[in-house]
Amino acid sequence: MNRSIALRWLCGANRRPSSHKHRGDIMSKSRARLFLFALTAFVCASFSPAHALWFVSFVSGSGMDTNDCSRAAPCQSLAQAISQTAPGGQVTIMDTGAFGPAFITQSLSIVNDTGATATDCCAVYTPGIADAYIVIAAGPNDVVTLRGITINPSGNVFPNSTAVLIENARQVNIEKCTIRNMTASGIILAPSSAGQLASSIDLKIEDTVVTGSAAGADLTSVPSLPVNVTISKSSFQSNIGGGIKVDGTKGGPIKVAITDSTISLNGSNGVNAVSGPSGNVRVNLIRDVIASNGQAGVQSNQSNGGSASVTVSQSMLSSNGSAWSNVGGATLLSYQNNEVTGTIGTPPSPAAFQ
């Protein structure tokens, strides 16, 4: 039945009213039928093959990219699912699989809450910085969340590859992720945009592991762009270089809070705060374990100008190359409630309780 015939049928166009006095009632019923038809057509169009972008799309290890990325017909790759997802929407990982790289340019969540291992397998090339398995190059007001993803090259190793490269977004959340065996830092924050940069970038890393990589996390900024980072219940361990580097040498203020986390067994410094001429950095650590790192457990370095400040409270610093390192007259403070063993290094100044 074509639409014109259906419309005539729904509206009763082929029916003659039994009397003039009932014509108003019939017209009211016809209008109601017309409204219902229009509503039905709209709903059906939403589920037609040429559907609008999904708010929630799906990927599966058994999916195919010729599918429409619905729950009933999931796609196989993150790239295809992202292309079928509306801004602010979610890509849901349904089961174990290797889903390829992701290039994110909008507000988006990629979520694996199944408990199954969801792994990226193939890097994309980003000139000048690193190959990256997930690139976040979103808009200045966008929010991006990654949850429950394992990123491990598993033989597909690229030189200078990072798991997550953050170039632009208002906020990025990395939750319950595992990052292994990167040939660059596991997480790199390096603000950059061909369009408008965010007025500030907030990064939250929670319940995440970075291990076996060239370094754990490398956090930078650019002039006049504040960067705020919170790291909690996470582990940066057994990396070839350092655990967490907060690098202000490229400009821009960076503030980092690290709580209830482990930064251990790294080849270089556990936590390294380095300021630059226009890049002041401030790091606060509380209830952390910083142990068996090859160089300093905690270093505050302002030899390149600007100001570097690190404050440590209720934490364990054990068996590092040295517990503390102060370079270039930086600020290094302890609330004197930390447990420190092994070589002391440059003793911190006492921080006053208020």
Say what the pLDDT of residue 248 is: 96
Residue 318, strand partner residues:
291, 341
Residue bearing tokens 């929670």: 206
Say what the pLDDT of residue 291 is: 98
In this structure, what token pair is assigned to residue 306?
A: 């600007």
Rounded Cα distance between 12 and 135, Å, is 57
Say what the pLDDT of residue 353 is: 75
**What is Dmax (Cα atoms) for the chain?**
103
Say what the pLDDT of residue 119 is: 76
Rounded Cα distance between 12 and 146, Å, is 53
Secondary structure (3-state) at 23: helix
Opening angle at CA 229, ends 228 and 231, nearest 5 = 160
Predicted model pTM: 0.84
Give whole-number Cα distances, 137 to 36, 99, 230, in Å.
43, 19, 20
Rounded Cα distance between 128 and 70, Å, is 36
Rounded Cα distance between 23 and 43, Å, is 30
Say what the pLDDT of residue 349 is: 95
Q: Which residues of the chain, if any, have pLDDT below 50?
A: 1-49
> DSSP for 121-173?
---B--TTT-EEEEEEE--TT-EEEEES-EE--TT---TTEEEEEEEE-SEEE
Say what the pLDDT of residue 352 is: 82
Say what the pLDDT of residue 97 is: 87
